[in-house]
Each structure stands twice: as structure tokens, then as C-alpha cells.
Amino acid sequence: MLLSAIVFLPLLFALIIALWPKETSLRHLALGFSLIEFFLSLSVFQKFDPSSASLQLVEKHVWIERFGISYFMGIDGLSLWLVLLTTFLMPIIILASWKSINTRIKGFHACLFILQTAMLGTFLAIDAIFFYIFWELSLVPMYFIVGIWGGSRRIYATVKFFIYTMAGSMLMLVAMIYMMYLTQEATGQMSSNLLDFYKLKIPFIGGQFFSLQTLLFFAFALAFSIKIPLFPLHTWLPDAHVEAPTPGSVVLAGVMLKMGTYGFLRWVIPLFPEASEYWAWLFMLIGVVGIVYGALVAMVQPDVKKLVAYSSVSHMGYIILGLFSFNVFGLQGGLYQMLNHGVSTGALFILIGMIYERTHSREISKYGGLAGVLPLFTIFFFIVTLSSIAVPMTNGFVGEFLILLGTFKVMPVFAYVAVLGVILGAVYMLWMFKRVFFGEPGPLVKDDHHPLHDLNFREVTVLVPLVVMIFWMGLFPNQFLDWSKASVDHLVQNRSAYNLTIYGASATPAAPLVAEPPTPTAEPTTESTPMPEAPSPTTDTTAEPGE
Amino acid sequence: MNHSLLMSILILSPFVGFLINGLRYKKHNYLVAGTIATSAVFISFISAVFLVVDLVGLPPDSRRIAVTFFEWIRVANLSVDAGFVVDQISAIMILIITGVGSLIHLFSVGYMHHDKGVAKYFAYLNLFIFNMLLLVLGDNLLVMFVGWEGVGLCSYLLIGFWFTDETKAAAGMKAFVTNRVGDAAFLLGMFILFLTFGTLNFSELNALVPAAAETSWLGAITLGTLFLFVGATGKSAQIPLYIWLPDAMAGPTPVSALIHAATMVTAGVYMIVRLNPMFMMAPNTMMIIAIIGAATAVMAATIGMTQWDIKKVLAYSTVSQLGYMFLACGVGAFGAAMFHLMTHAFFKALMFLGSGSVIHAMHEEQDIRKMGALKKYLPITHFTFLLGWLAIIGIPPFSGFFSKDEILWMSFHSPLGHPVLWAAGALGATLTAFYMTRLMCLTFWGASRVPKGTHPHESPITMTIPLVVLGVLSVIGGWIGIPHIVSDFLGHLPNVWEEWLHPMIKEVPNMGPADASLEWALIATSVGLASVSALVAYHMYVRKPGSASRVADAMGPAYKIVYNKYFIDEAYFAAIINPLVKGSRALWYYVDVNFIDKCTYWAADVAKGGGALIRSLQNGNMQQYAMYIGIGLVVVLSILLMR
């Protein structure tokens, strides 16, 4: 019941908020609700067994028997921290938008809570259709958040965001339905259960694009790549960020982008082991290009928020690089980087929002000398900058180090290019920092009619938890990594025939592959005859377990 | 006393100082802030002394005090402890850092007394000491890297301390980014070593090094050490990454003394000495290190001869002296490198603080053309600066003589050395004598060129005490490492330095016996060259002022090139920075906005167009529908009939 409560409680909150008669106490109510949700999610730690790679706290009920669709939720080391990240950020977001959201407060908070349900459901659903519902549901409140409370080009941005992500998801839905069909071929009973999907052996022919596993792989990968977003599918992101209100940007960067990377981790890599391995070079290449490209374009942005948006493209490149290295360093690093990015980029957007509330501008060239006027704000911004450029003792370093190490282990050439991101990251962040905070006071800073005030108590309260997390995760990473260790080890060691058992269930040892490959007669595509795996350029280097 | 407690105090005391002053960042009282910060570092110094005393009490082969606080990162076979070690090498460093550090903190109390951000200044300075201690005490490469980036960060903050000045803020950023280039290489070096040896721990790495030297350029040890060395060229300002250090003089002068002379910039040397068994097995890397070191020593010295800013001269001098330390490492004279590191910390910190005292006296004037004859106004500063001058140009028995002589001798004598390396070193020494004498002449001696209205005055006692202490150390600091040949001559004085470091240093293989007469000849040559060069400079700048500019004019373009620092900054701008910024703008405009985004529009247009096409079929016009049915009927029927 715990997971159901965690996922659906926000929906209940949204309902209560929608029906709440008064607008005056609404913010306090929402903050209280989000805190309740956060503390509830903390109780997962009590029941979660970090030594097990199995799916825990499982809830499974038959939903649509005819198609084998079930209400199926579970948590393991891959999703645990993302759930916590989601519930951790929500109170911060609500407190951060205390003053900046002034219209339709009710609708705004209701949207936030619906969004929270959707994101949590995405991380916890273990059934394809169930997952897909949450995945798409998340678009709706975000569409409204950007479209109603956004900036001047909000409609353009939100429509672009919606259609872009939707287009990718459609292919994924088709692929999911096809996989349900495959389960029927294999077992006689249709199922959309992810654990059944894992047992499928989908024929793969290396070097041939139109082979079944490759097609399914790309259908899923495209949907997730748009969400992340990976280069060159990233152009919706800067627009969405610039137009979104601060809380929208924080949710978007902090959690929603991770739905894409999580998708790779939970769906793509274990479901299509051969195709992932065969195409790993492509995704690592995209990751590396994204790192460098995102950093270079971020460097020349005139708008702070756009700069941070492009820096996200760069950071997401690191994550995908780590995930496709297929070793423990890269995967743990990638997982860690997801959390880091949520914390530090979330914090950056909050900080940018705070200064925007004061000056109503995000143009870098209009600032300058801010450090002399707003010392406290400067300190917070600097700490978050350090985290973003991965200075040791902050969270960013641990993730980046592990990812680069994991990449170097399998494909040194990509690591050699990716370290350019370490340099360029410092360049774009510090250059921006210099222009905004140092030098002579700019026109917005020395405006005598509107003297700027440093952070107030509420704003400090918003930032302190984030800064605490930055150092906590930087100094004691083991306290985080240990919880995901078992699951990541399991994935690395069993990647070629991944299976996931349910915690506590009488596990049928190393579940045999019940699924036969579809016979050519039942299959419209004729090239699906299983063939010995074609020699792939990456097999010799990537398949080893992480010692 | 309990070692882990001592170690905690040693490391955390400056951090506590940082927190206290950091939380009082708005306060202006320099005495309170200065007292907190100075005592924090002094407490560190006391615990460092206790630790080193305990270390001396241990038998030479097991001199090692290790404390592990917790396990920092554990992933698969990567296990990194927050572990700290005091051994023969780090013992020297912690004494220098906290000892010289305390003196510089004390000096800062007087120097920064009128600055509004004094609490912030001391907070940064304490944070720097904390990070520097992490760097030297860490028992593995990753903890060292934490300090390595941490000191770079503090350097950034302190260079840009007066951030309202755009150029100072830019200098800070330049320092950080240039260092980051080195740090990226450091990361790669770590990856290679970790994936080869499965550990990042120094003692484990040094134990795992194979017995045979690696001859291949692409071997793991060679590549790993080369990348680490590139990291060192960033932090220790060597070719090609030295460009940030002269600009770093934008920071307050005590910062230059502490960070950009005595401690941080020597981190690269320290790292190589720490891993000396590893570097020893990569002769190719060693060769590169020696060449880069020698080249930097000479090149920076030539630039130093032409600069007019007192701090810039000292900055290039630092780059040049660091070059000597790398030259020493490159020829396998790790002990000599550490020796020069220490003596340089004394005399260069002394001279930087002396220059601070001069600048303070001259009301923030740094141009030596506007100085001269300051001797009578600043007697203590002058006298201590004089000691530093004698030390750096290598006049016996001042400290610099012993350490520099050892390096020059080894660069000639060691199997890894070469007469050309010795010649470069000797040339550098000659140039050093020239520019340092020039600095002395123009600042303290000769005729006064002090502008009217400036009334130079000797600095307060908090500033002169550190000068005196460092002055004494600059004189006697070299006496603990007297070379054998000299000590034989003087009656068998022990070479304490060599005995102390001996267990930690891997000997250069195939070292031939020393030829006493040759060694004497080399010593005589280098001391002779330096003396002559100093006399020439004295003649040019005191006896016949004006002759220098005639020489410069006679040199023509050559002088211009050197004066403009070989146009290296301009070259970097033209070759890397400007194309990068322009290219990125193009990337953003042409690729992102006008290609990728246009493609998405295009895809949308296709969908829209297709929709419009199909929509036009369904316009609600009954007649048209009837026509479609008719056409369909004809087509279907004709297909059926044709079969």
C-alpha cells in the first residue's frame, strides 16, 4: 500500500486544493501537503532492503485481464532515489513560488500535485501500459503550467514541448503494444508486465536496421531521447525553460528530464541488450557531442536561463554516456548525476527566478557587480555554480568522476573528448558568473529607484536544503550509492539476460526464458529468424561485469 | 598525543576559521578577523609540529602516520578513503604551509587593515590553507585532487578579491579555467593509473610499479604520468599553461606570497615527488618534464628582465624557479626539487611580502620606474629583501645557493640529465641574477624617482616580523642540505635533508661516481656567472642609469617580443579563445536555431501539409463524395475485371 499511497496521495491533494473554498491559506495547505508527501516517501527507507536487487514493496492487481494489463508497482535501487528526488523538490518548489505565482493559485498547485503523481507513477510503474499512462499524464499539467503561468511566448513554447514529446511517445506506445503481442506469441497469454517483457528473447541481427529488436530499441530510445533531451532533439528545451515559470523550470529540469534517462535504465538497456550493446557507440557519441555542443552553445547565450537550459543538455550528455558504458562506474555515476542535476540545476533555476522577481530581466549584459549588492544571494549562487561545474566535495564531482571513469574503461576516446566538458563547464558558468556578479554595477544593479534587497528568510529556507544536499552528496556519496548498488550490480552482471524478481516471492531461480522467438509464419517480418549474434564492435569491451 | 586528534586539528582548524570569518562576512574589524584567522593557522602549525616530532621519533623506514577518517567513495573495485598521511614528504609541506602560512596571515593583518572585505579575505585565506592541507596530506590521488581543485578555487576567489575591477575578476577566471585544463588532464591520468593498477592510493601505486622502466610512449605508466604532469603544468604554471600566474598578481600581495609563490604553485612538484617511483619508471615522461622545466626556467627569466611591475617581475621569477624544480624532477633529483621548493618558499614569500611592504609604503604603486632609493625609508624591508635577493641569485651560503646548485649538478651528472639541461639551468641562473639585481636597484637603490606627494614609510610591526623571520630562514634554510662535496670541505657536516628524504626517494639507476673537480668547476661557473650578471645589472641600473634603455633600443624587435611576453596571451586568444567564442555563436545561430529547429518545423509542416491534403478530401460536399465513390467503383471493378 505504501507505493500506492505515495503515488496517489498527491492526486488526492490536488482534488482537495481544487475544492478548497478559500485562496488565502492555499499556499500553506499545499506546502503542508507536499511535506506530508515527502515524509511519507522517507518511510520507504524503513522497508527497503538495500542488499537486494529485487523489486520491492510490490503491489500487483489485475486490471484488464484480456490484455494482461495490471496495476503493478514496485521499487528498486534504480528508482528509489528518483522517487525521493521528486518528493524532496516539491516543497521547495512550492515555497519558491510563494511570491512569483499570483494568478490562479488554486489551479497552479493542483497542477503541481497532479504532475507529482504522474512523475512518481512513471518511476514506480512496472507495467508498460500503466507506465505509459503516467508518462503521458505528466505532459498535461506541465502544458498548463507553462501555458498559463509562463512568459510572453508561452503558448509557442508549451505547444512545441507537448507535440515534440508526444510524437516520440507515440512510437513507444506502438512498440509496447507490439511487445504485448510478442508475449502472447511466446506464452499464449498477452501481458504488458515489464517482468514478462524482460523474459522475451527478441531476435536481433547486428548490422541490420530493420530487425525486430533494433526497431523496438529505437522506438523506445527515441521517446526517451526527446524527453532527456539528447542532441539533436533538444531544441524544445531552451524554449520551454525560458518561457516556463520558475517552478515549471525546476520540475522540468529537476525531475522530468530524468524520466527519459530512467527510461533508458529501466526499459531500453535491459529489454534490448543486444541492440543496446550494438548501438552503444551511437549513444555514447550523441552523449559526447551533447556534452561539448551544449557547453559551447551555453557559453554564448545572452539569457541566463537559456544558458542553464543548454547546460542541461551538456549534463544530460554525461548521464547517457555513463548509462551506455554498461559498467558499475558509469551506471552508478549516471544515476548519481541524475540526482545531482536535479538538485543543482533545480537550485540554479530557483536562484534565477529570485533575481528575476527583483529585476524582471534575465539578460546577462544588464547585470554586473551583483556581488557587491546582494552578498548572500551571491554566496548561494556561487555554491550552486561549484556544484554545477563539479568541483570536488560537491555532489557534481562524484557523478562526473564515476561517469568519466566508466567511459574511459570501455571507450577511452569518448572520455578524452568528454573531459573537454569539464573545462567548458567551468568556462560558461564562470564567465556568466563574472559578467553577472563582478565588475562595475550594471544598469539593473545600480538602479536607484528600485534598490535590490538581498535574500529574505523564506528564500534562504528554500535554498538551504539544496545546499545541504550539495555537500552531503559530495562528502558522503556512499550513503546514497549503497542503496542503488545491488540493483546496478545486478543489471551489469545480468545485462544480456536481465530478469527482475519480486522481493520475498518464492523466486524461481534465474527465470528460464519461457518465451520462444516468434515463428516466421506468425511474423510478418521475415528477417526475424534468430541468428547467431553478429560480431559487434563493442562486445569485447563492454560486456564485462564490474568486478 | 592521539594522532587522529592531531590530524583533525591540523586539517580542521583553518576550516573552522573559514566558517567563523565566513559567517561574519559583513564585519569590517580587521583585528578580530585577522586574529581569528591567524590563530586558526597557527593552531594548525602547532599540531603539525607535534606530528612531525612524533614522526622523527619513529625509525626511518617506518616513518608514517596515517589516519583514515571514513570511506569516501566505494563503487565496484574503486575504494577511496578520506585518508591522510604524514610522512617525510608531507611533513615538509605541512610545516611550510602552516608555518609560512601563519606568517603571511600575520602580515595580512597589517596589509589589509583598511579593506572593507577583510573578514571575507581571511575566510578565503583560511579555506585555502584547509584545501592545501588536503592536497598534501591526502593518501591517494583523489583526495589530493580534492585539495588540488580546492586551492584553485581559493586562488580564483582571492585573485578576483577586488571583484568590482573587471580585469581582476577576469584574471581570477583565467586562473581557474587554465587550471581546469590541467585538472582535466589530471583526471585522465588518474583514470589510466586506476584502470592499470586498480588503486589510487599513493603507497599502493608506488609499490605496484614494475621493476623495469617503460620505454613505450603509449604505455600506461608513461601516458598516465604524462597526463598527471600536464595537470602539474597547470597548477605549477609551466609551459604551456603558465599564462595565468602573471595575471594572478591582481590579487592582494600576501595572497601572491602564500598561494602564488610559497605553496599552491608548488603542488605539481609535490605530486611528482609523491609518485616518484612511478615517474622514475617512465623515462619518456621524465625527459619531457626536464625539457619543459628547463625551457620554462629560461623563458620566464627573460620576460622577468623586461617587466616594470614589481609583482610581475616576481611572478615571472616564480615561474622560472618552478621550472628549476621540474628540471630537478625530470633528472631524477626529487630530493633537490623538494629542497628548492622549501628554500624558494622562504625567499620568494619573503620577497613578495617585501614587495607588499613596498607597495603599501608607496600607496598602491607597483611600477618600479616610480620607485628608487627606498632603502632609507624602508630599512627593514630593504634589508630582508636583500637577504632574499642573495638567496635567489645563489650566493653562498644563502639558502638558494644550496638548492639551486644541487639541481644544476644533478642535471649535469644524472644519467637522466644532459649538458644542455645544465647549460639552460646556468643560463637561467644568470638571467635570474640580472633581473633580481635590476629589481633591487630600481626599487631600493640608485636615485629616487618617487613622485612628489608620496611619502614612503616603513610598515607596521605585524608586517615586519614575518619579513624578519622569513629573512632568517632564507639565510639558514639551506644549511640542512649541504652537498657532500662542500660538507667534506667543511668537515663532514651531515646532509640532514638527504637522510630524511632517503627512504621516500627512488634512486636514479646507474648513477656514476661524482667527480669532485668537475662539481667544483660547475659550482664556480654558475656562481661566477650569477655574480658577473648581478654586477652588470648594478652597473646598468645604478652606476649608469639610462644605459639599460639604450641596450633595449639596440635590441629592437627582440626586446619588444620579450617585453610583450612573446605574445603568448595574444596567440592563445587568436588561436583558441576567439575562434571558440565565434564558433560557438555560429553553432548556436546556424546549427541550433537555423538548422535543427528548422528541421522540427519542417517535420511539423509535413504533418500539417499532409493533414491539409487529406482534409481537402473531406470537405462535406456530397457531389464530390459521390464522385470519389464513382471513381473508386470504376477502379475496383476494372482491377477485378482485368484479372
Does residue B463 sit in the same domain as residue B350? yes
Gyration radius of chain A over CA positions = 23
Q: Single out the residue of A115, A501, A502, A541 nearest to residue A324, CA to CA.
A: A541
Mean pLDDT of chain B: 91
Residue B232, all three cell numbers: 602539474
Q: Which long-range contacts (CB under 8 A, 24 or more apart) does A35-40 make?
A: A35/A91, A36/A9, A37/A6, A37/A9, A37/A10, A37/A13, A37/A87, A37/A90, A37/A116, A38/A87, A38/A88, A38/A90, A38/A91, A40/A2, A40/A5, A40/A6, A40/A9, A40/A87
Cβ-Cβ contacts under 8 Å, B73 against chain A = 398, 401-402, 477-478, 481
Does residue B131 sit in the same domain as residue B145? no
Give the number of domains in chain B: 3
Does residue B529 sit in the same domain as residue B579? no
DSSP 8-state symbol, A442: -
Residues 437-466 of A with CB under 8 A from B: 437-441
Cβ-Cβ contacts under 8 Å, A402 against chain B = 73, 75
Helix (H) or strand (E) holding B635: helix B622-642
Q: Among all chains, which residue has been given the C-alpha cell 617587466?
A: B307
Interchain proximity A408–B188, CB inside 8 Å:
yes
* Complex prediction ipTM: 0.91
Q: Give me the residue from A164, A419, A438 closest to B184, CB to CB.
A: A419
Q: Single out the residue of B304, B299, B459 nearest to residue B368, CA to CA.
A: B304
Rounded distance, CA B173 to CA B150, Å?
14
SS3 A331: helix
Check CB contact of A393 with chain B, cutoff 8 Å: yes
Q: Name residue B435's beta-bridge partners.
A: none
Check CB contact of A192 with chain B, cutoff 8 Å: no
Q: Single out the residue of B114, B132, B117 nearest to residue B48, CA to CA.
A: B132
Over residues B102-119, mean pLDDT: 90
- pLDDT digit string, tens, across residues A288-323: 999 999 999 999 999 999 999 999 999 999 999 999
Does residue B118 sit in the same domain as residue B191? no
- pLDDT digit string, tens, across residues A186-208: 888 899 999 989 988 888 887 78
Helix (H) or strand (E) holding B72: strand B64-75
Q: Is the pLDDT of residue B76 over 70?
A: yes
Interchain proximity B150–A393, CB inside 8 Å:
yes
Out of B81, B110, B139, a domain closes at B139
pLDDT class of A506 with cuts at 50, 70, 90: low
What local confidence, expressed as pLDDT, does residue B622 receive? 87
Cβ-Cβ contacts under 8 Å, B153 against chain A = 386, 391
Q: Single out the residue of A510, A530, A379, A372 nearest to residue A452, CA to CA.
A: A372
Percent of chain A with pLDDT over 70: 92
Rounded distance, CA B385 to CA B366, Å?
16
Over residues B525-532, mean pLDDT: 92
pLDDT-wise least confident of A217-231, A397-411, B454-468: B454-468
Q: Name residue B64's beta-bridge partners.
A: B87
Mean pLDDT of chain A: 88
Over residues A61-80, mean pLDDT: 92
Rounded distance, CA A312 to CA A343, Å?
12
pLDDT class of A525 with cuts at 50, 70, 90: very low
Rounded distance, CA A222 to CA A279, Å?
13
Rounded distance, CA B348 to CA B403, Å?
14
- pLDDT digit string, tens, across residues B234-293: 999 998 899 999 999 999 999 999 999 999 999 999 999 999 999 999 999 999 999 999
Residues 114-173 of A with CB under 8 A from B: 160, 163-164
Substitution target in B26, B75, B153, B193 with the highest count of A β-carbons within 10 Å is: B75
Residue A331, Cβ density class (10 Å: 0-12 exposed, 13-18 middle, ≥19 buried): buried
Extract the runs of DSSP E, i.e. beta strands, from A103-182. none
DSSP 8-state symbol, B61: G
Q: Is the pLDDT of residue A508 over 70?
A: no
Rounded distance, CA B205 to CA A221, Å?
41
SS3 B643: coil
Neighbours of A40 (CB within 10 A): 14
Using CA atoms, how far residue A226 sits from A153, A160, A413, in Å, is 21, 12, 26
Q: Among all chains, which residue has been given the C-alpha cell 562576512?
A: B25
Percent of chain A with pLDDT over 90: 70
Q: Is the pLDDT of residue B594 over 90?
A: no
The helix, strand and coil proportions of chain B, stated in percent and rounded to the nearest 5, come to: 75, 5, 20
> How far away is chain A from the Cα of B373, in angstroms, using its nearest Cα?
36
Residue A229, all three cell numbers: 533531451
Does residue B422 sit in the same domain as residue B558? yes
Residue A88, all three cell numbers: 524532496
What local confidence, expressed as pLDDT, does residue A288 receive? 95
- pLDDT digit string, tens, across residues B282-340: 999 999 999 999 999 999 999 999 999 999 999 999 999 999 999 999 999 999 999 99
Chain B residue nearest residue A484, CA to CA:
B75
- DSSP string for residues in A393-423: TSHHHHHHHHHHHHHHHH-HHHHHHHHHHHH
Q: Give me the residue from B73, B181, B587 closest to A398, CB to CB.
A: B73
Is the distance from CB of B381 to CB of B306 less than 8 angstroms? no
Q: Is the pLDDT of residue A539 over 90?
A: no
Over residues B603-623, mean pLDDT: 86
Check CB contact of A318 with chain B, cutoff 8 Å: no
- pLDDT digit string, tens, across residues B468-483: 999 999 999 888 888 8
- pLDDT digit string, tens, across residues A120-152: 999 999 999 999 999 999 999 999 999 999 888
Rounded distance, CA A108 to CA A94, Å?
10
Out of B499, B531, B563, a domain closes at B563
Q: Is the pLDDT of residue A532 over 80?
A: no
Cβ-Cβ contacts under 8 Å, B164 against chain A = 369, 372, 438-441
Interchain proximity A426–B72, CB inside 8 Å:
no
Interchain proximity A405–B78, CB inside 8 Å:
yes
Interchain proximity A438–B195, CB inside 8 Å:
no
Over residues B527-534, mean pLDDT: 93
Interchain proximity B163–A393, CB inside 8 Å:
no
- DSSP string for residues in A36-95: HHHHHHHTHHHH--TT--SBEEEEEEEEEGGGTEEEEEEE-HHHHHHHHHHHHHHHHHHH
What local confidence, expressed as pLDDT, does residue A540 receive? 41
Cβ-Cβ contacts under 8 Å, A422 against chain B = 180, 183-184, 187
Query: pLDDT: is B81 or B482 the higher one?
Result: B81
pLDDT-wise least confident of B2-6, B138-142, B453-457: B453-457
SS3 B464: helix
SS3 A134: helix
Residue B588, all three cell numbers: 548556436
pLDDT-wise least confident of A343-352, A496-505, B61-70: A496-505
Does residue B423 sit in the same domain as residue B290? yes
What local confidence, expressed as pLDDT, does residue A547 receive? 36
> How far away is chain B from the Cα of A427, in angstroms, using its nearest Cα?
6
pLDDT class of A513 with cuts at 50, 70, 90: very low
- pLDDT digit string, tens, across residues B547-562: 888 888 888 888 888 8
> How far away is chain B from the Cα of A466, in angstroms, using its nearest Cα?
19
Rounded distance, CA A258 to CA A224, Å?
9
Does residue B4 sit in the same domain as residue B126? yes
Does residue B146 sit in the same domain as residue B102? no
pLDDT class of B1 with cuts at 50, 70, 90: low
Does residue B193 sit in the same domain as residue B75? no
pLDDT-wise least confident of A382-391, A412-421, A438-447: A438-447
Interchain proximity A439–B73, CB inside 8 Å:
no
Is the distance from CB of A141 to CB of A38 less than 8 angstroms? no
pLDDT class of B525 with cuts at 50, 70, 90: very high
Domain limits for position B214? 140-563
Cβ-Cβ contacts under 8 Å, A409 against chain B = 191, 195
CA dihedral of A143, A147, A151, A155, whole degrees rounded to 10: 100
Is the distance from CB of A121 to CB of A134 less than 8 angstroms? yes
Out of B112, B139, B166, a domain closes at B139
For chain A, the structural domain boundaries read: 2-497
Check CB contact of A289 with chain B, cutoff 8 Å: no
Rounded distance, CA A71 to CA A62, Å?
6
Chain B residue nearest residue A393, CA to CA:
B146
Phi, psi of B252 (to 5 degrees): -55, 145
Q: Name residue B85's beta-bridge partners.
A: B66
Rounded distance, CA B505 to CA A76, Å?
50
Amino acid present at A226: I
Interchain proximity A232–B600, CB inside 8 Å:
no
What local confidence, expressed as pLDDT, does residue A533 receive? 44
Q: Is the pLDDT of residue A538 over 80?
A: no
> How far away is chain A from the Cα of B166, in angstroms, using its nearest Cα?
4
Q: Give me the residue from A297, A401, A478 closest to B584, CB to CB.
A: A297
Residues of B492-529 as b/e, b for ≥16 C-beta within 10 angstroms?
eeebebbebbeebbeebeeeeeeeeeebeebbeebbeb
Does residue B16 sit in the same domain as residue B156? no
Interchain proximity A481–B150, CB inside 8 Å:
no
Over residues B558-576, mean pLDDT: 88
- DSSP string for residues in A458-481: HHHHHHHHHHHHHHHHHH-THHHH
Over residues B112-118, mean pLDDT: 87
- pLDDT digit string, tens, across residues A96-109: 998 888 888 889 99
> How far away is chain B from the Cα of A430, in angstroms, using its nearest Cα?
7
Q: Give me the residue from B146, B150, B188 closest to A416, CB to CB.
A: B188
Does residue B115 sit in the same domain as residue B189? no
Q: Is the pLDDT of residue A537 over 60?
A: no
Rounded distance, CA B231 to CA B192, Å?
14
Chain B residue nearest residue A371, CA to CA:
B163
Does residue B179 sit in the same domain as residue B225? yes
Residues 6+ away with beta carbon under 8 Å from B423: none
Check CB contact of A336 with chain B, cutoff 8 Å: no
Is the distance from CB of B239 to CB of B300 less than 8 angstroms? no
Check CB contact of A546 with chain B, cutoff 8 Å: yes
